[in-house]
């Protein structure tokens, strides 16, 4: 490979902390050394440190001063993907590439000073609670996240299995949503596959971890053995992962010598990463994306589209086009700095723009309805936005009511009808099992009426 590719060993791309592509330096022998004693600016920094240490009226923690100085320098870059992590935050960051971790299973990032959901992981408590891409986190357990960087926010959100965390979110078009989520062990299982009756292999890739490439290869082989005639690669709500996995997985669908991605350094120099082996999939393929498709997932989508003419279906992707390099200090803390841009095969930079699909497709409106807390109770006479959400859910399930934000007599009748149909106590009150039942039925309906997947299958059939 060329110079930049040789200089860096791809290690992590994780949106759990910052939806970032991360490269680890493998050889730093040629890195320029910086001498603080030779630089007046660093003398100024040391002078301030000494002044605080000697003259501040209370005893100070030297480590906190050093951490604060580093954090301040990194924050001065104005780049949400460059960050300093103390020991606790760095430990959480490292967990993102392990086989499992304890938390809610939501990938988050910082953008324009806001802490946003990139995507919930498949089967996670965050997905079950209805978290959506671009939900803005306002509070964690009644503590405002304003002023926090993404790693600080993640530290508050994560916790031991079985404990609860309360999030206050702002959702576009809905307003504030309050969600209580029980933390759990989040396994990093990344590839799910099935064969349709029409011999089409549906493959969902939820992130790019250490084993994803081998998982994908195994899934494709098994589907082929069952007679698969084409594949839909579902990258929806995939926040990224290991970059080397994204490259090797793209090579499965991109012929040897064709471009997978480009890397542009700060001096404008571009290095091209090309497929090193002949592709192993010759069957027709379609890629399915949405606004939660980010970073390494965007690398793969763009590579398959531009270098193998594979169509993309769904919604515009997230738009993350920079590369970060982490470095760990001896005390366990670390710093992660943006060092380059990544470009699509044709040289486009999709940062904050995303990738536009060839065929646009949206999910039904009820797919974006917010989560309802089963511990809350809603009954006749109540009013407010939560009641309107209840009414919209009932309508989506076929129990027709007017979504007027008032829990009126007709709404109560619809609730009793739902309870009767599902073997629940017919009291007309929405709480506990009734709330959970309504949301479970909505998820079942969405799974059966996945309009985006249906569109992708229709496009694939035209390619076959």
pTM for this predicted structure: 0.74
pLDDT over 80 (residue 417): yes
At 8 the pLDDT is: 29
pLDDT over 50 (residue 109): yes
pLDDT in tens, 62-72: 989 999 999 99
Helix, strand, or coil here: 278? coil
Q: Which residues pair with 23 in a beta bridge?
A: 10
Mean pLDDT of 17-23: 40
Mean pLDDT of 140-155: 89
**Residue 342 φ/ψ, nearest 5 degrees:** -110, 145
Confidence bin at 92 (pLDDT 50/70/90): low
- The number of helix segments (H) and strand segments (E) in the chain equals 13, 21
pLDDT in tens, 149-162: 888 888 899 888 99
At 371 the pLDDT is: 79
Q: Which long-range contacts (CB under 8 A, 24 or more apart) does 366-370 make?
A: 366/392, 366/393, 366/396, 366/442, 366/445, 366/446, 367/446, 368/132, 368/171, 368/173, 368/174, 369/130, 369/393, 369/396, 369/442, 370/130, 370/169, 370/171, 370/174, 370/177, 370/179
Q: Poorest-confidence range of 161-165, 331-335, 401-405?
A: 331-335
Domains located in the chain, CATH noted: 100-187 (2.30.42.10), 191-322+341-364+450-463 (3.90.226.10), 378-446 (1.10.101.10)
Q: Poorest-confidence range of 48-57, 91-100, 184-193, 257-266?
A: 91-100
Confidence bin at 186 (pLDDT 50/70/90): confident
Residue 30, phi-psi category: left (phi > 0), alpha (psi -120 to 50), beta (remainder): alpha
Q: Are 101 and 186 in contact (CB under 8 A)?
A: yes
Distance of CA 139 to the CA centre of its chain: 19
Q: How many residues does the chain have?
A: 464
Q: Could you tell me which of 237, 344, 360 has the C-alpha nearest to residue 293?
A: 237
C-alpha distances in Å from residue 209, one per residue of 99, 121, 217: 8, 13, 14
pLDDT over 80 (residue 285): yes
Helix, strand, or coil here: 438? helix
At 369 the pLDDT is: 87
Confidence bin at 120 (pLDDT 50/70/90): confident
Burial of 103 (0-12, 13-18, 19+ CB in 10 A): buried
Q: Which two tokens mark 386?
A: 């939560």
Helix, strand, or coil here: 182? strand
- CB neighbours of 453 closer than 8 A, spacing ≥ 6? 202, 232, 234, 288
Could you tell me where the beta strands, DSSP code E, fall in 15-105?
20-25, 83-85, 100-103
Q: Could you tell me which of 303, 302, 339, 338 has the C-alpha nearest to residue 317?
A: 302
Q: What is the DSSP letter of 369?
A: P
Q: Which two tokens mark 403?
A: 């979504």
Q: Which residues pair with 169 in a beta bridge?
A: 137, 177
pLDDT over 70 (residue 12): no
Sign of CA dihedral 405, 410, 413, 418: negative
């Amino acid at each position: 490979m060329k110079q930049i590719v040789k200089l860096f060993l791809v290690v992590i791309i994780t949106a759990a902390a910052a939806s970032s592509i991360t490269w680890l330096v493998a050889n730093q022998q040629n890195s320029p050394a910086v001498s603080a004693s030779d630089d007046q600016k660093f003398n100024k920094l040391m002078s301030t440190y000494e002044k605080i240490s000697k003259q501040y009226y209370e005893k100070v923690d030297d480590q906190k001063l050093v951490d604060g100085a580093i954090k301040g320098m990194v924050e001065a870059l104005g780049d949400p993907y460059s960050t300093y992590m103390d020991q606790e935050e760095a430990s959480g960051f490292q967990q993102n590439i392990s086989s499992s971790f304890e938390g809610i299973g939501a990938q988050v990032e910082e953008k324009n000073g806001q802490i946003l959901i990139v995507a919930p992981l498949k089967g996670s408590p965050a997905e079950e609670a209805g978290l959506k891409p671009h939900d803005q986190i306002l509070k964690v357990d009644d503590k405002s996240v304003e002023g926090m960087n993404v790693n600080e926010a993640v530290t508050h959100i994560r916790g031991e299995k079985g404990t609860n965390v309360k999030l206050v979110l702002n959702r576009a078009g809905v307003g504030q949503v309050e969600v209580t989520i029980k933390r759990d062990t989040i396994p990093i299982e990344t590839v799910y596959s099935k064969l349709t009756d029409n011999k089409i292999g549906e493959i969902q890739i939820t992130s790019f971890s250490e084993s994803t490439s081998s998982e994908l290869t195994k899934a494709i082989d098994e589907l082929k053995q069952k007679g698969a005639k084409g594949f839909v690669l579902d990258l929806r709500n995939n926040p990224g992962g290991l970059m080397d996995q994204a490259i090797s997985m793209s090579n499965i669908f991109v012929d040897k010598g064709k471009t997978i991605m480009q890397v542009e350094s700060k001096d404008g120099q571009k290095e091209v990463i090309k497929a090193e082996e002949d592709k192993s999939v010759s069957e027709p393929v379609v890629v399915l994306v949405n606004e939660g498709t980010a970073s390494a997932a965007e690398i793969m989508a763009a590579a398959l589209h531009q270098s193998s003419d594979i169509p993309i279906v769904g919604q515009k992707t997230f738009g993350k086009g920079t590369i970060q390099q982490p470095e760990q200090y001896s005390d366990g803390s670390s710093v992660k700095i943006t060092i380059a841009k990544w470009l699509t095969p044709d040289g486009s930079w999709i940062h904050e723009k995303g990738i536009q699909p060839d065929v646009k497709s949206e999910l039904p409106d009820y797919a974006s309805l917010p989560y309802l807390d089963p511990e809350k109770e809603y009954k006749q006479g109540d009013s407010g936005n939560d009641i309107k959400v209840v009414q919209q859910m009932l309508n989506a399930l076929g129990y027709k009511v007017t979504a007027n934000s008032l829990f009126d007599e007709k709404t109560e009748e619809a609730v009793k009808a739902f309870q009767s149909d599902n073997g629940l106590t017919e009291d007309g009150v929405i709480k506990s099992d009734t709330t959970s039942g309504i949301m479970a039925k909505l998820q079942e309906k969405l799974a059966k009426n996945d309009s985006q997947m249906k569109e992708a299958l229709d496009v694939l059939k035209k390619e076959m």
